[in-house]
Amino acid sequence: PQVVKQCEGTEFAAGGQNLEAHAEGAYTGEISGSMLVDHGCSFVIVGHSERRNLYGESDALVAEKTATAHACGLRPIVCVGETLEERENGRTASVVERQVRAVIERAGIGVFPAGIVAYEPVWAIGTGLTATPGQAQKVHELIRDFLGDLLGPAKAADIRIQYGGSVKPGNAAELLA
């Protein structure tokens, strides 16, 4: 609530870092989409690499959480990205497409353009490594082309795709450009 209050009257909006996949029920320790909405949140992150890696969240669970977020009126920020091994083996495209496809198959294409896709390469989270602007842009183009095949290029152009891997003061300007 304090963050939401600080956002009032500004261009900023508050969001949650995670949500429970079930809309209702007794899930001690979890936060529901309706709780986030009740507190004034507009967004929620789903599929963050730490949730996938540390808590074993599968593509199917990320897709379920995306559907729940969308149904609650939250804008899901769907994180997708590959491990360093997957990148080195030339599997970035197949991994990212698999992750986006899982969301679309469960949540429906209607989750976009309200939803946001965040390219968050696993190898750039907490490792000190960061994708170059060219690497990030290449994956953004891949995602947009994939969504364009499903929605058409004009609608795909309206979907927000952002980079979210180890952005720091020293590289933010370059990545944002």
- How many angstroms separate the CA atoms of 21 and 18, rounded? 9
Pairing of strands 43-46, 116-119: unpaired
Catalytic residue among 20, 57, 82, 120: 120
Half-sphere exposure (CA, 13 Å, Cβ side) for 145?
A: 9
Helix (H, G, I), strand (E, B) or coil at 99: helix
- How many angstroms separate the CA atoms of 139 and 132, rounded? 11
Q: What are the structure tokens assigned to 41, written together? A: 């949140």
Catalytic residue among 48, 57, 64, 86: 48
Residue with tokens 């209050």: 5
82 included as an active-site residue: no
* Length reported for the chain: 177
For residue 166, the 8-state DSSP code is: S
140 included as an active-site residue: no
| Residues that are catalytic | 48, 120
